[in-house]
Amino acid sequence: MNIIGEKMKGKSTNTDKRATSYDIWMGKPANGLIWDFGRIDYQNPPTDESFYSANGRKYLISGSSKHMKSRQKDRPAIWYSTVYNSVNHMVTEEGECDVFTWETPLGKLIGKRHNNHFSEYPIKTIEDIDIWTYIYSNISFSLNRDWLERTNIGELKSLGLNWSPVQQLMQFDMGLENFYYFLVDAPEKMETLLDVMQKRCVERLKLCLSNFPDISYIYWGENTSSSSISPSYYQRLTLPHIKEYAELAHNANKRLIIHMCGLLKDLLDSFILTGMDGIHSATPPPFGDAPYELIREKFKKDFTILGRFNAQLWMGKSVSEIQANLKKSVYPELLESPFLLMVTDDAIPDIPYENVMNLYEALENIRW
């Protein structure tokens, strides 16, 4: 049931000439402000089902907050399964942490994750690099039959994969500090590990491309930021990997969109060389450092920008304040290019109903 009620007044300057979200992913002009916020977007206003009630008030049901707090056993299956050969892989729980254990002939590694972030990385020493290399040398990927049975393949427009070797190691396997220490202290071991991990990434991508020929684009999660990798390291370590993914995708007539939500300004010239087709979650100032105008100028005409509108820019704000914040980064010409605005709640729980309604009104009635 629609619950917009009398709050939505005035005529929107947006029209039904606006493109679809799919069009934006495919590099088509937006023809207006295209935006989404989970299950709420420019085509789907908030409904009763968007909220829950507590203590006499309504709050947004936040998918990102729920995911952050979810345990591994409760997470939905994805399109592929990882098969461990000569490795005993276990997932258990310890208090509020998910505990991941890998037992191999070379030794055992343990990692712990709390609220979607690793509090203990499995790779802690130089010797552990050999174990991790062994693990990646003895894994393969297969289609997830349970997922296939529940999914209408004919309706799929895209599939997602996560992380290139560098980002996997930084975020989940050894952490940022050890990543750079190990590059200096054990360069040959790290080079071998990165090569083995890249082979697995390519195998997984090829599995996707060969089994789902009718999808239109690949979403690749990265979280790239110059706060964690410099332009020189990116060019040396990550650029060749992303370029290989892009070439494989393009050879299969697919687009490759990369999720990068960090500081990107100093890396843009490197991104051009990868051949990627778009940036997912591009974040302009004040939280990022790459204005949309700069990204638009540097890349090809059909380059997709999925821009981020952080929670701090709309939560607790009036309609006019939200619109003023948006106009600091979004400009009319941008709306005639492949641009979609991604509103985020940044995993903040208990967002009041009134905040969401102000957001919807601000975005649907903004005048440029």
User: What is residue 10's predicted lDDT score, i.e. its pLDDT?
Assistant: 37
Beta pairing, strands 339-343 & 304-309: parallel
User: What is residue 16's predicted lDDT score, i.e. its pLDDT?
Assistant: 66
Write b or e for each residue in 310-325: b if 16 or more Cβ atoms lie within 10 A of its Cβ, otherwise e. bbebbbebebeebbeb
Record the tokens describing residue 290, joined without a space: 């790459």
* Other residues' Cβ atoms within 10 Å of the Cβ of residue 165: 22
Task: Give the separation between CA 108 and CA 130, rounded to whole angstroms.
Answer: 11
Query: Nearest-5° angle of CA 33, CA 36, CA 38?
Result: 175
Task: Give the separation between CA 257 and CA 205, rounded to whole angstroms.
Answer: 13
Is residue 88 within 8 Å of residue 145, measured between CB atoms?
A: no
Is residue 238 within 8 Å of residue 229, measured between CB atoms?
A: yes
Task: Give the separation between CA 138 and CA 169, rounded to whole angstroms.
Answer: 17
Residue 346 φ then ψ, to 5°: 55, 35
Can you say whether the dihedral through the CA atoms of 211, 215, 221, 222 is positive or negative? positive
Task: Give the separation between CA 81 and CA 187, rounded to whole angstroms.
Answer: 31
User: What is residue 136's predicted lDDT score, i.e. its pLDDT?
Assistant: 99
User: What is residue 14's predicted lDDT score, i.e. its pLDDT?
Assistant: 53
HEC-encoded secondary structure of 299-364: CCCCCEEEEEECHHHCCCCCHHHHHHHHHCCCCHHHHHCCEEEEECCCCCCCCEHHHHHHHHHHHH
- pLDDT by residue for the chain (368 residues), tens digit each? 344 433 433 334 455 689 999 999 999 999 999 999 999 999 999 999 999 999 999 999 988 877 878 899 999 999 999 999 999 999 999 999 999 999 999 999 999 999 989 999 999 999 999 999 999 999 999 999 999 999 999 999 999 999 999 999 999 999 999 999 999 999 999 999 999 999 999 999 999 999 999 999 999 999 999 999 999 999 999 999 999 999 999 999 999 999 999 999 999 999 999 999 999 999 999 999 999 999 999 999 999 999 999 999 999 999 999 999 999 999 999 999 999 999 999 888 899 999 999 999 999 999 99
What's the whole-model pTM score? 0.93
